[in-house]
Amino acid sequence: MVTAASETPTSNRAEPLCTALRRGMPRESAAAALARRQALAVSESETLIRPVAAHRVLPARAADGETLEADGFTLQVPAFAPDAGKINAVAAAACTIGPDLERRVRELFTAHRPSVALAVDRVGTQALFRLSDQTLAAIRREAKGQGLVLGAQANPGDAGIGFEQQAAVLALAGAEASGIALTRLGMLSPEKSVSFLVALGPDLKGHVYSGRCARCPARERCPLR
């Protein structure tokens, strides 16, 4: 049982992400594989990927349908509604690969090298996905140590939680220390950043994660699948 917030230190090691990206992607064509390797070489030689990830596991109350209360915040999380009475904690996470890669992508477009720019941008997105997966794995390990089971995951902007909840999710995750913030338009900065919540409880049946693609409305046309 969680009685107080636990916080995991940030991580800034790019090597595990780059190692994972070298293995390739499912359904990747030969041309796409070559572009990925070239973009990865650029990213590594210029140290464009600077990952930072942090998460906090907090006591929570979700007894009223979609309403979640944690650390002084009240959020509406439809994704958690089916398990509301069984949730007694929540994990909030924020991840970013930093601003350097997006800056380099803009420079490549300005230099009229769009194919390289797109390939580097794609590698950045893949690195962010890997970082998110690693953070989720860390949450799973920590939850197991506290006798908790992972329930549903919700990313602000998805059907499971509204985009307007983004600021609260970042605050719960302690994202400010990781250099992640909201712009005036409500977008995450750096651009290659993501935040999410995970429901936790000792009596949850456990959520079978079919991957972020299963929840994404653009999955059928996404080049990263």
- pTM, 2 dp: 0.85
Q: Which two tokens stand for residue 165?
A: 């909840």
pLDDT tens for 172-217 read 999 988 889 998 888 899 999 999 999 999 988 765 554 555 555 5
- What pLDDT, on the 0 to 100 scale, is given for residue 21? 72
CB-based contacts of 120, cutoff 8 Å, min separation 6: 39, 42, 43, 48, 101, 104, 105, 108
Q: Is the pLDDT of residue 160 over 80?
A: no
pLDDT tens for 13-32 read 676 777 767 776 667 788 88
- What pLDDT, on the 0 to 100 scale, is given for residue 184? 86
Q: What is the CATH number of domain 6-208?
A: 3.40.109.40
Per-domain residue ranges for the chain? 6-208
Span 119-125, mean pLDDT? Answer: 92
- What pLDDT, on the 0 to 100 scale, is given for residue 8? 54
